[in-house]
Every structure is written in structure tokens, then in C-alpha cells.
Amino acid sequence: MTSYAELANGGLTRIKPYQAGKPIEEVKRELGIDDVIKLASNECPLGMSPKAREAAIRAVEEGNFYPDSNGFYLKEKLCRRYGYDREMLTLGAGSNELINLLFEAFVNDRCNVVLPAYSFVVYAMEATVNAAPVKSVPLKNWQVDLDACLAAIDENTRVVAFANPSNPIGTAVSYARIHEFVRQVPKRTLVVIDEAYNEFNSGDPTYEDTAKWVADCENLVVSRTFSKAYGLAGLRVGYMVANPEISSLLNRLRAPFNVNSVALSAACAALDDQDFLQQVVNNNNTERERFGSFCREQGLEMIPSLANFVTIDFGQRDAQKLAADLLKRGVIVRPLVGYQLLSKLRVSIGTPEQNDRFFKALTELLGQA
Ligand SMILES: *Cc1c(COP(=O)(O)O)cnc(C)c1O
């Protein structure tokens, strides 16, 4: 028999499929329970803006037409709101697609990729698919160590990528340090800042719009998404800001209609509804405090988070077992076994009711032997 794996590009056989959080329906089906909440994929617990919902429904009515391949109105809104140049923007079916495109465009077997330890797993997958070795840089106090990243960059490093705030850890680096880093990295190395959780960090008094630095930093690439704070994860839309030459390469590589018309319309309306965004951020701030109090009361270590999830350490306990027991109680969380963090769970911050349910279930489980 023909081995198609042998015929495939070398890197492809060396990665495992991405392990997504379990969908609610799957848990209901498998465990035969009705009342299930998902605190596993950092989705927006308040749903989406009602305005985005209306825009999405209106767009469905025109679903017989192809979407605007250039995403004119969404780019227009982003340029007006943040002052970017249209030529710097690439739209994607989620920021994940944009990260894939960037790696596909620039990474190959003649270069390497520098990544902090415990990075979002997609970066390493894309490096491997594109046949580049990964140089992994240890964290410092669970924070991305930009000094160590800088030291790891050599003449063959094509990309250094990190998420800020990071995932699955949730810590963030100061904007002043990131800006300094971006200026220190040699121009032949692309600096990718993945800001999937950007909106949750915007209350930081030192906050800066890193994408504004692109005008002066030709090797800086910033990715953002509507999946998390804007609540459009299922619609798949994100954007990347990079210098016009890089953007033009990505726009050549992407599929012509990569972002669908429902997602484009919903994203435009979501950007206009900053009140809804503020509600999401407020809920997250208040509830993250409650996670902190809960962990203190229970004597659990929680890594300080600036995102919409927290990572909790359970010491000697098997976190995977805890996750399975929580699942039986209808609460889906994310064990970090894939990252070899066997004592930790990542829990997305939900509504007050959802979090109460998590606190209650976990308290019961911790009370058992
Ligand atoms: C969720 C997430 C993404 C991907 O989000 P999309 O839905 O593809 O936009 C990218 N990076 C990080 C760090 C994430 O947590």
C-alpha cells in the first residue's frame, strides 16, 4: 500500500492534531448530563454584542453572495478607530489562520523559531510543519523572559513569537519592556506579538497599542482576534498588523474569501459596541478577583493573570483527575498535561453564576480525600 504520510511534507507527520477544549454538546452526549458549562476555551461568557448578533443575522440573509474579499468595511473601522494604515492589515479566519500564514510565508528548514516555554501550542506546530527547529526559552516567574529570548536569537532566527498576555499562563510583560525588545531584535527576525487577550489588559496604566509601533518597527507583527473579548469565536475573524510589505505577502498567500461575510459584518458591529466590550472586561476584572479570593481561601496557588482565564496549581494532586471529576459535575476546564504541567488547570473566567458553580464543585472535590 502507498504510504501517503511518506508523500506528505516532512513536518506534517511530526505534529499531533490540535487538542481543542471539549464542546458542551460532546460532554452532554458522553456523560448523559444536561447542565454543562464550559470554562475551557477562554470564550466570552456574556455571549456577543446584541448589535453584532443583529449584523450577523442580516449578513446570513445575503449568504448567497461571496464576502468582500478585501474586508473593506472592517479594515475601514480598524483604521478609523486605531489609526492604522489599510496597507498594514491582513484579515484572517481567526488570528490562528494569520499565524499559520505568517509561518508558512517566512519559516523553513533554513531557519529557527524562538518561543518562550509554555507558549500557545500553535506556534511550535507551525514551526514544525514548516520544518524549522524551535528554540524554547524558559519563563522567569511564569513570565515571558524577553532578555533570554533576545539572547536566544541568532542569525538564523526568522521568528520570535509570544502572546501578551500569555496563554495558557496568563501573565503579561510591561509595555515598556516589550517596546524596548522590539527595538533590540535584529530586523531579519520577525517579532510576533499575539494579542488574543489584548482587551483584558487595556486597563493597565502602562498599556500601549503595540500595533502603533509597526510604523517605526518594520519587523513587528501584531495579531488580534474577535474570538475572546468580543465573543465571536465561532464566527472566526481576526486581524494582523504588519508593515505593508509583509502584509502584502500575507494577502497574496491567504485564500481569496478567507473571512466569511457573517464574521465580517459581526466584527464591524462588535467594534462599534464598545459598551458591550466594557461589560465583558468589567465582568472579567471583578470575577478574576473572586478567583483570587477563592484560591487564597482554599490554599491554592493561582498564577497572577491579566487575561480572561486563570491557571491554578493543585500541588500533589493529579490535575487531570480533578478535571475529569469536574467534568462529571458538568464543568469543563482545561488540564495542562499537553504542556507537561501536571498539577495545573487552566480555568476560563465565566459569569458570576458559572464561577460559583466551579467554586462549589471544586470545594466539594477538594473536601474529599
Ligand atoms: C485563542 C487564541 C488565539 C486564536 O484565536 P482565534 O480564534 O484563532 O482568533 C491565538 N492566540 C492565543 C494565544 C489564543 O489564546
Domain-terminating residue out of 273, 305, 337: 273
Say if pTM beats, i.e. exceeds, 0.85.
yes
Q: Provide the edge-to-edge strand list for the sheet that holds 341-348.
A: 301-303, 309-313, 341-348, 334-336
Is there a single domain that holds both residue 61 and residue 204? yes
Sign of the alpha-carbon torsion through 288, 163, 139, 320: positive
120 CA from centroid of ligand 1 (Å): 8
133 CA from centroid of ligand 1 (Å): 22
Cell readout for 142 is: 511564569
Residue 110 sits in a domain of what CATH number?
Answer: 3.40.640.10
What are residue 190's DSSP bridge partners?
Answer: 159
Alpha helices (H) in 216-318, listed in sequence order: 244-253, 261-272, 274-298
94 CA from centroid of ligand 1 (Å): 7
235 close to 226: Cβ distance less than 8 angstroms? yes
340: left (phi over 0), alpha (psi -120 to 50) or beta: left
* Residue with CA closest to ligand 1 atom 12: 196
Cell readout for 258 is: 478567507
Peptide bond just before 352 cis, omega within 30 deg:
no
Is there a single domain that holds both residue 115 and residue 128? yes
Query: Where residue 62 falls among pLDDT bands split at 50, 70, 90?
Result: very high
Could you identify the atom of ligand 1 that is nearest to the CA of residue 227? 7
Is there a single domain that holds both residue 114 and residue 193? yes
Is there a single domain that holds both residue 190 and residue 258? yes
Would you say the CB of residue 237 lies under 6 angstroms from ligand 1? no
Q: pLDDT tens-digit profile of 284-307? A: 999 999 999 999 999 999 999 999
Whole-number percent of the chain with pLDDT over 90: 88
* Residue with CA closest to ligand 1 atom 4: 96
Would you say the CB of residue 90 lies under 6 angstroms from ligand 1? no
Mean pLDDT of 216-229: 98
Domain-terminating residue out of 215, 244, 273: 273
Would you say the CB of residue 94 lies under 6 angstroms from ligand 1? yes
How many CB atoms neighbour CB 56 within 10 A?
22
Opening angle at CA 127, ends 124 and 130, nearest 5 = 150
Q: Which domain holds residue 334?
A: 4-47+275-368
Please give the Cα distance from 70 to 38 (Å, whole number): 34
The predicted pLDDT at position 67 comes to 98
Q: pLDDT tens-digit profile of 77-115? A: 999 999 999 999 999 999 999 999 999 999 999 999 999
70 close to 217: Cβ distance less than 8 angstroms? no
Query: Where residue 369 falls among pLDDT bands split at 50, 70, 90?
Result: low
* Residue with CA closest to ligand 1 atom 1: 196
Sign of the alpha-carbon torsion through 280, 197, 177, 290: positive
Is there a single domain that holds both residue 356 and residue 320? yes
Is there a single domain that holds both residue 122 and residue 160? yes
Mean pLDDT of 145-171: 98
Would you say the CB of residue 101 lies under 6 angstroms from ligand 1? no
Extended beta strands in the chain, E state: 37-38, 89-92, 112-116, 134-137, 157-163, 190-194, 220-225, 238-241, 301-303, 309-313, 331-332, 334-336, 341-348
What are residue 242's DSSP bridge partners?
Answer: none
4 CA from centroid of ligand 1 (Å): 30
Q: pLDDT tens-digit profile of 313-331? A: 999 999 999 999 999 999 9
Cell readout for 210 is: 503595540
Query: Where residue 172 falls among pLDDT bands split at 50, 70, 90?
Result: very high
Would you say the CB of residue 43 lies under 6 angstroms from ligand 1? no
Extended beta strands in 66-133, E state: 89-92, 112-116
Would you say the CB of residue 118 lies under 6 angstroms from ligand 1? no
Could you identify the atom of ligand 1 that is nearest to the CA of residue 93? 8
Is there a single domain that holds both residue 32 and residue 55? no
Is there a single domain that holds both residue 128 and residue 226? yes
199 close to 232: Cβ distance less than 8 angstroms? no
Could you identify the atom of ligand 1 that is nearest to the CA of residue 41? 1
Total domains in the chain come to 2
Name the residue of 44, 95, 102 whose CB sits within 8 Å of the most ligand 1 atoms, as the mutation to test its pocket.
95
Is there a single domain that holds both residue 34 and residue 54? no
Cell readout for 180 is: 524596548
96 CA from centroid of ligand 1 (Å): 6
Please give the Cα distance from 34 to 13 (Å, whole number): 38
The predicted pLDDT at position 20 comes to 79
Please give the Cα distance from 195 to 369 (Å, whole number): 40
Name the residue of 167, 193, 258, 311 whose CB sits within 8 Å of the most ligand 1 atoms, as the mutation to test its pocket.
167
Is there a single domain that holds both residue 235 and residue 281? no
Is there a single domain that holds both residue 42 and residue 54? no
What are residue 313's DSSP bridge partners?
Answer: 301, 344
The predicted pLDDT at position 9 comes to 86
The predicted pLDDT at position 368 comes to 82
Domain-terminating residue out of 273, 292, 327: 273
Would you say the CB of residue 227 lies under 6 angstroms from ligand 1? yes
230 close to 52: Cβ distance less than 8 angstroms? yes
Q: State yes or no: pLDDT of 167 exceeds 80.
A: yes
Name the residue of 120, 197, 224, 236 whose CB sits within 8 Å of the most ligand 1 atoms, as the mutation to test its pocket.
120
Could you identify the atom of ligand 1 that is nearest to the CA of residue 98? 8
Residue 343 sits in a domain of what CATH number?
Answer: 3.90.1150.10
Q: State yes or no: pLDDT of 355 exceeds 90.
A: yes
95 close to 240: Cβ distance less than 8 angstroms? yes
Q: Which of 49-53, 163-167, 208-212, 339-343 has the least mean pLDDT? A: 339-343
Would you say the CB of residue 169 lies under 6 angstroms from ligand 1? no
The predicted pLDDT at position 201 comes to 93
Is there a single domain that holds both residue 21 and residue 58? no
129 CA from centroid of ligand 1 (Å): 18
Q: State yes or no: pLDDT of 66 exceeds 90.
A: yes
The overall average pLDDT reported for the chain is 96
Please give the Cα distance from 116 to 162 (Å, whole number): 7
Q: Pairing between strand 331-332 and 157-163? A: unpaired
